[in-house]
Amino acid sequence: MIEVKSFEDINNLINERSLLLFDFWAPWCGSCRMLMPVIKQIEDELPELTVAGINVDELQEISSQYDIQSIPTLVLFRDHAEVASHNGFASSQALIDWIKEN
Q: Which of 29, 36, 46, 90 is catalytic?
A: 29
Sorted by sequence, the CB contacts under 8 Å of residue 21 that are 6+ apart come out as: 39, 42, 49, 50, 51, 52, 74, 75, 76, 77, 99
Angstrom CA distances, 79 to 18, 27, 55, 76, stand at: 4, 30, 24, 10
Residue 47 falls in the annotated catalytic set:
no
Q: Which of 10, 32, 38, 68 is catalytic?
A: 32
Residue 29 falls in the annotated catalytic set:
yes
Question: Which stretches of the chain are assigned E, i.e. beta strand?
Answer: 2-3, 19-25, 50-55, 73-78, 81-87
Catalytic residues, which ones? 29, 32
